[in-house]
Amino acid sequence: MNSIDSRELAAWLDQTLQPGRFRDYSPNGLQVEGKASISHIIAGVTASEALLRAAIERGADTVLVHHGWFWKNEDPRVRGPRRTRLALALAHDLNLFAFHLPLDAHPQLGNNAQLARVLGLAPDTDANGLPRTCGPDNLVWVGSAPGVADFGELAAQVGERLGRQPQAIGDPDRPIRRVAWCTGAAQGMLADAVDAGVDAYITGEISEPTVHLARETGVAFLAAGHHATERYGVQALGQAIADRFGVRVDFVDIDNPV
């Protein structure tokens, strides 16, 4: 089995995802240092206790996630679930790599790019082939949904491909020509999608003000699930690591209905 030095992997991830470009809510990169030599990585959406235990059971030395630890404004005390998670990582010498906004935004490996692939969306691109974006840190992607005539069809396609029924706000018969999307909890960026002139906006979550804004602007809104929309970027990143370094990478999906 091939292996790689943890510092080499950390440097490649930083070069690939460029976390310094983002004003993020948690540290990106190596959050917990474990074994110096990495040969087996477990990839997942969130560094939960269940994912850590799955990594330990499989004899992995590294966990790679989108949602890591040490979020801003969290209680920093190490107790309860935080103590349990950290104790597991340290006791089993696990590396924990986490990339939040950088993994959302990457033009090929990111959550937005991979969600477009899964849903059959076609991003608009510029002269350099980069996606057309809007919103904070250019996190919202803009494009179209080829073959989709109306909002009802779009909602049905999203539900079928993600394996869960999205929450839909809008007229099912509304024609769909332009679409914007941003994975996770990006309901607060609906106004940016509206300004971009789209007919529908897809994200993971919904909140009370979102409903009113969608109704009042006429832009249809789909809340397709935070976890459901963010399962794909970390898989693509894990595959890129496996292809480049020849180490084993397994994706473990810890189900989350939200």
Q: Class for domain 105-229, per CATH?
A: alpha beta
% of the chain beyond a pLDDT of 70: 100
Quick check: do 4-100+230-251 and 105-229 share a fold?
yes
- Residue 40, marked binder: no
Average pLDDT, the chain: 97
Report whether pLDDT(217) > 80.
Answer: yes
Q: Is residue 150 annotated as involved in ligand binding?
A: no
Instruction: Check residue 4 and give its pLDDT.
Output: 97
246-257: average pLDDT = 97
Using one digit for the tens of pLDDT, what is the confidence trace for 179-201? 999 999 999 999 999 999 999 99
**Any binding-site annotation on 57?**
no
pLDDT at 133 over 80: yes
pTM for this one?
0.97
Domain covering 4-100+230-251: architecture:
3-Layer(aba) Sandwich (3.40)
Q: Is 106 flagged in the annotation as binding? A: no
Q: What HEC string does the chain produce?
A: CCCEEHHHHHHHHHHHHCHHHCCCCCCCEEEECCCCEECEEEEEEECCHHHHHHHHHCCCCEEEEEECCCCCCCCCCCCCHHHHHHHHHHHCCCEEEECCHHHHHCCCCCHHHHHHHHHCCEECECCCCCECEECHHHCEEEEECCCCCEHHHHHHHHHHHHCCCCEEECCCCCECCCEEECCCCCHHHHHHHHHCCCCEEEECCCCHHHHHHHHHHCCEEEECCHHHHCCCHHHHHHHHHHHHHCCEEEECCCCCCC
Query: What residue ranges do the domains of the chain occupy?
Result: 4-100+230-251, 105-229
Does 1 score more than 80 pLDDT?
Answer: no
